[in-house]
């Protein structure tokens, strides 16, 4: 495992080759500043490669070979960096020509670059972590199976609070995530369930597990879902949508592990208990309310 390999390095400017049988001379270690780094050593004509917020890119010329090095500047996202290193190693292992190595490495870096923005973000709260997990699970496991991944992504509004979480031409979906055993779900505004056409209230129930449990972690869920998109522009759009919600990869999130206890869908149509703008006095400019899940069982969609 690449993480354990990095643990072996204690001195700056020390590197070792990843695999002597790999077609490319890829090295991992610590750069002169003691930062985790991966580099390619080969004879190539290099081009300008821009650093990102958390990855510093340097290129060097020597008599015997040239080097392109990727150094991690924010250790809070070391888990993401390990995945990046694994990806570079795996994606280049099947190359037929060594001369294709440099361009392949650069191309893979640019596909990862959006994830390596500045790591100096405010961490999501646990309710926000759970909420984002619920929305991504709904997109990945339900809506994409119904309408396709591209259309599911296009329908996702993210943090646009005047819109439903997901809006299709014929139906909308508002996704809520609660802790296992919770008896009610909070509706944050008068607009969330207000619409002319029918929609669905989707409620995920998550149980928090120990860190040792092989459950759902936000970091892995984001990366695995992003990798489902074969079109780079769609992958970037997905990552932009999670970034809008305040997410940026951080090792901290790996301590929050969940199991899905249930996903229930409720039909929001005539008769469903909602508060809407036309049902409250004009003097009330905003309001939130909670719905008792036990009392809306008759609206449960059974499929």
Please give the pLDDT value at position 121: 64
Residue count of the chain, please give it.
303
Q: CA torsion sign, 99 to 101 to 103 to 104? A: positive
Which pLDDT belongs to residue 160?
55
Tens digits of residue pLDDT in 207-236: 999 999 999 999 999 999 999 999 989 998
Mean pLDDT over residues 22-47, rounded? 96
pLDDT score at 285: 87
Q: How far apart are CA 38 and CA 42, in angstroms?
A: 13
Residue 257's DSSP bridge partners are 209
Predicted confidence (pLDDT) per residue in 253-268, tens digit: 999 999 999 999 999 9
Tens of pLDDT, residues 157-180: 865 554 689 999 889 999 999 999
Mean pLDDT of 108-131: 85
Give me the mean pLDDT over the 130-138 stretch. Answer: 98
Domain segments of the chain as ranges: 2-116, 126-299
pLDDT tens sequence across 52-78: 889 999 999 998 999 999 999 999 999
Is pLDDT of 118 > 90?
Answer: no
Say what the pLDDT of residue 46 is: 87
Could you tell me the strand order of the sheet in which 55-61 lies?
A: 14-17, 25-30, 36-42, 66-72, 55-61
| Helix axes of 232-244 and 218-226: crossing angle, nearest 10 degrees | 150
Binning pLDDT at 50, 70 and 90, where does residue 132 land? very high
pLDDT for position 115: 86
What average pLDDT does range 101-114 have in this prediction?
A: 93
pLDDT in tens, 189-198: 888 998 889 9
Q: What is the C-alpha to C-alpha distance for residues 179 and 185, in angstroms, rounded to an integer?
A: 10
Query: Which distant-in-sequence residues (6+ apart) come within 8 Å of 161 by Cβ?
Result: 189, 191
Q: Is the pLDDT of residue 289 over 90?
A: yes
pLDDT value of residue 129:
98
Of the chain, the percentage scoring pLDDT greater than 90 comes to 81
CA-wise closest residue to 112 among 153, 57, 49, 52: 52
The pTM of the full predicted model, rounded to 2 decimals, is 0.86
pLDDT of residue 277: 86
pLDDT, residue 159, reads: 57
Q: Which two tokens mark 197?
A: 């056409």
Q: Rounded mean pLDDT of the chain?
A: 93
Instruction: Dump strand ranges (E) for 62-153.
Output: 66-72
């Amino acid at each position: 495992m690449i993480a354990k390999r990095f643990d072996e390095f204690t001195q700056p400017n020390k590197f070792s080759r990843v695999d002597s049988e790999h077609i490319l001379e890829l090295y991992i270690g610590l750069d002169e500043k003691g930062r985790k780094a991966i580099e390619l050593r080969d004879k190539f004509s290099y081009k300008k490669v821009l650093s990102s917020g958390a990855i510093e890119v340097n290129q060097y010329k020597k008599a015997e070979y040239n080097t392109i090095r990727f150094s991690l500047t924010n250790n809070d996202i070391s888990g993401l960096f390990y995945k990046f290193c694994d990806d570079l190693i795996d994606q280049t292992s099947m190359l037929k020509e060594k001369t294709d190595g440099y361009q392949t490495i650069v191309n893979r870096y640019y596909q990862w670059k959006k994830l390596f923005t500045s790591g100096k973000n405010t961490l999501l709260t646990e309710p926000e972590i759970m909420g984002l997990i619920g929305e991504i699970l709904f997109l990945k496991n339900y809506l994409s199976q119904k309408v396709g991944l591209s259309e599911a992504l296009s329908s996702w509004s993210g943090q646009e609070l005047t819109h439903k979480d997901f809006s299709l031409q014929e139906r909308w979906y508002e996704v809520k995530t609660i802790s296992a055993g919770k008896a009610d779900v909070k509706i944050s505004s008068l607009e969330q369930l207000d619409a002319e056409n029918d929609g669905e209230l989707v409620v995920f129930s998550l149980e928090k597990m120990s860190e040792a449990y092989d459950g759902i972690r936000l970091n892995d869920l984001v990366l695995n879902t992003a990798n489902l998109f074969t079109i780079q522009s769609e992958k970037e759009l997905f990552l932009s949508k999670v970034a809008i919600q305040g997410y940026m990869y951080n090792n901290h999130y790996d301590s929050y592990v969940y199991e899905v206890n249930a996903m229930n869908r409720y039909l929001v149509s005539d008769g469903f208990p909602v508060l809407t703008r036309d049902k409250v006095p004009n003097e009330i400019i905003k309001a939130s309310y909670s719905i008792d899940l036990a009392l809306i069982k008759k609206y449960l969609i059974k499929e």
